[in-house]
A and B are shown apart, each in its own frame.
Chain A
């Protein structure tokens, strides 16, 4: 009886979405990534509840105090609780990571699509600039733009967003070219549809999966970039807690208070890993051939 039930289950018609979710659930790495991302997002949202201390409360007498039962990872240069600052650091990492990918994703996708639709010299110029930008490592592009814009959260998001944009432009450019020539797009255009409408209605759905994979993988890289630029001092300005900055401040005290530098690094590593696992997992689900 139970067996018959099982057989019935397996022939049950499932929706596309349900099928994708099933494949996703079978992918252990992707599931781990998703759980990790959810935990990190929750930690960032609930930071005021989770953090045992005020991340900005200074106490000069207790500077560089070693870990204790009340201050789990010890205190930093200004006597602030390192553990609480790591939890609050998740906010900066996620804000910069997500907003810069949104900025870069929207800008890049639009650039690629505009280049594809317009053709001619507009396309030549846009794609040429994109080629040049892609030739540079993300960190060097980010470093240059951040240096020109100056430090601060908004500038950091713009700098990382601009660094990321070309990768999305590459993605949207190809499909735009192929869709442009189809009859249904010509029909839509004949009925007066504008470029942006063609992009949203006809092109985006075709590349939604790839966009999602790219967005997840680049969120990982954006968080890594945020930490790297903060490490140099081009990131979010003190006293706001940011992992990259904590790592930098801690390197000077590596001998006395190793956790100062090492603990925020572990948070950073796990966050980047989470988004990489998630992105890899989504790719495997959407493209089973790529699954090795």
Chain B
């Protein structure tokens, strides 16, 4: 297992490098001058030129590239074009809010989605299954930010049960959870739809397997067949797909943070896009890339842990 883990970790380094390179290319090589874009069309020639100099845009492209990668290796993400503060400080503040939201949402998704998937698989083609499938397709079609607005409207505006804006400080867990509830539920419900649908199809596959028939034939009670045999086998694909969903969750969290004005990475990214702060946008993309590669790595490792065949 240790060797497998080391191999996987080593493999994620070239992936990260490729992702960083792509981010660099998208931000710099796509037509348009970031300095002009940052200052607007009516900025003076001198101001644009000064900003180009400060952003290092006057260097040859390969120098810029190595500066960028070199900075990342040193943990230096550059300074914001707007506030001139190191971007990393702002990210340190924002990241925990996003991680907290994502973890809460994926927990809700797993806790609700897996049972829904198992039940709809067992009662396949019955009314329960039909309702479950319609709801999960509706969930897949729900733009996360819109579900957030609906929850916000009913639970905060109409019934005043939850705060509408911001996030609670981490030092006050009750207030923090109170603020977390609605955004986490809105993302979690959509996650439930994905996980439920996927669990159902995985379970349907497993339920047709020979070993399930054997388990039934030897007289095991149905719950034991389902939980100890079928579900354990289904867990392997569920783990790897849950990783993919966790990644897509990061995407939906961006707008959810905007809707609920949570001070996380996503809202920071949208804010920097509005302010045309390309350095910050680029840095947040780098952080997202690291998170995504990390989730993939984690999924691989868990996969290796639950399924020994993967290790070879």
* Chain A positions near chain B (C-beta within 8 angstroms): 29, 128-129, 131-133, 135-140, 143-145, 147-150, 220, 224, 227-228, 231-234, 247, 251, 254-255, 258, 261-262, 265, 268-269, 272-273, 276-277, 280, 292
A-B contact pairs, 23 of them (CB 8 A): A29-B133, A132-B18, A133-B22, A135-B247, A136-B288, A137-B250, A140-B251, A143-B270, A144-B281, A148-B26, A148-B32, A150-B32, A231-B258, A232-B255, A254-B157, A255-B157, A258-B153, A261-B149, A265-B146, A268-B143, A268-B146, A276-B137, A280-B137
Contact of A129 with B140 in the complex, beta carbons under 8 Å:
no
* B149 & A262 in contact (Cβ 8 Å cutoff): yes
State the Cβ distance, A9 to closest chain B Cβ, in Å. 26
CB of B183 to closest CB in A, whole Å: 14
Interface string of B133-173 (1 = CB under 8 A from A): 11001101111011001101100010000000000000000
Q: Complex formed: what's the CA distance from A220 to B146 in Å?
A: 15
- Residue from B27, B145, B254 within 8 A of A143 (CB atoms): B254
- Residue among B124, B138, B145, B258 with the highest chain A CB neighbour number at 10 A: B145
Q: Which 7 A-B pairs have the closest CB atoms?
A: A137-B251, A139-B251, A273-B141, A272-B141, A147-B273, A265-B146, A148-B30
How far does the alpha carbon of A143 sit from the alpha carbon of B252 in the complex, in Å? 11
Tell me whether B157 and A135 are in contact (CB under 8 A). no
**B259: CB under 8 A from chain A?**
yes
**B292 touching A251, Cβ below 8 Å:** no
B296: CB under 8 A from chain A? yes
A272 touches B22 (CB 8 A): no
Q: Are B37 and A150 in contact (CB under 8 A)?
A: yes
* A32, closest chain B residue (CB): B134
Nearest B residue (CB) for A138: B251
Asked if B233 is an interface residue, CB under 8 A from chain A, the answer is: no
Contacts of B19 in A (CB 8 A): 132, 135
Set A129, A254, A277: member contacting B149, Cβ < 8 A: A254
B248 within 8 A of A: yes
Chain B nearest CB, measured from A205 CB (Å): 28
Cα of A268 to Cα of B146 in the assembled complex, Å: 9
- The answer, yes or no, to whether B293 is at the interface (CB within 8 Å) is yes
Whether A276 pairs with B140 at a CB distance below 8 angstroms is yes
* From B143, B153, B250, contact of A269 by CB (8 A): B143
B262 contact set on A, CB distance < 8 A: none
- Central interface residue in A29, A140, A150, A280, by most chain B CB within 10 Å: A140
A128-B288 contact in complex given A135-B247, A234-B273, A273-B138, C-beta closer than 8 Å? no
The listed residue with most A CB atoms (<10 A of its CB), out of B19, B27, B141, B289, is B141
Q: Does B285 contact A (CB under 8 A)?
A: yes
> Does A145 lie within 8 Å of B251, measured CB to CB?
no
Chain A residues, CB < 8 A from B293: 135
Mark each residue of chain B from 243 to 279: 1 if its CB lies under 8 Å from any CB of chain A, else 0.
0000111111011001100000000011001100000
A116 to B61, CA, bound (A): 30
| CB-defined contacts of A136 to chain B, threshold 8 Å | 247, 251, 288-289, 292
Q: How far is the CB of B160 from chain A (nearest CB, A)?
A: 11
Interfacial chain B residues near A132, Cβ < 8 Å: 15, 18-19, 22
Measured CB to CB, the residues of B under 8 A from A are 15, 18-19, 22-23, 26-27, 30, 32, 37, 124, 133-134, 137-138, 140-143, 145-146, 149-150, 152-153, 157, 200-201, 204, 247-252, 254-255, 258-259, 269-270, 273-274, 281, 285, 288-289, 292-293, 296
Minimum C-beta distance from A28 to chain B (A)? 10
Which of A137, A147, A269 makes the CB contact (< 8 A) with B248?
A137
In the complex, chain A residues whose CB is within 8 Å of the CB of B269: 143
Which among A137, A145, A255, A277 is the interface contact of B26 at CB below 8 angstroms? A145
**Chain A min CB distance to B257 (Å):** 11
Most chain B CB neighbours (cut-off 10 Å) among A129, A131, A147, A149: A147
Q: How far is the CA of A232 from the CA of B143 in the complex (A)?
A: 13
Whether A227 touches B141, Cβ cut-off 8 Å, given contacts A147-B281, A150-B32, A261-B149, is: no
Please, which residue of chain A has its CB at the minimum distance from the CB of B34?
A148
Known: A140-B285, A247-B146. 12 other contacts (CB 8 A): A135-B247, A135-B296, A136-B288, A140-B250, A143-B254, A231-B255, A232-B258, A232-B274, A251-B259, A269-B146, A272-B142, A277-B137
- Give Cα A140–Cα B258 distance, bound, in whole angstroms: 14
Minimum Cβ distance to chain B for residue A109 (Å): 21
A232 and B153 contact, Cβ closer than 8 Å, known pairs A138-B251, A145-B26: no
Which single residue of chain A is at the shortest CB-CB distance from B205?
A292
CB-based contact B138/A233 at 8 Å: no
Q: In the bound complex, do residue A227 and residue B22 qualify as a contact, i.e. CB atoms below 8 Å apart?
A: no
- Chain A neighbourhood of B270, CB < 8 A: 143, 232
Our pick among A137, A233, A276 for the contact of B274 (Cβ within 8 Å) is A233
Residues of A within 8 A of B258 (CB): 231-232
Assembly CA distance A101 to B201 (angstroms): 27
**Shortest Cβ distance from A93 into chain B, in angstroms?**
12
State how many angstroms separate the Cβ of B131 from the closest Cβ of chain A.
Answer: 13
Residue of B nearest to A234 (CB): B273
The answer to whether B153 and A128 touch across the interface, beta carbons within 8 angstroms, is: no
In the complex, chain B residues whose CB is within 8 Å of the CB of A251: 149, 152, 259
- Per the bound structure, the CA–CA distance linking A176 and B137 in Å amounts to 32
State whether A224 touches B143 (Cβ < 8 A): yes
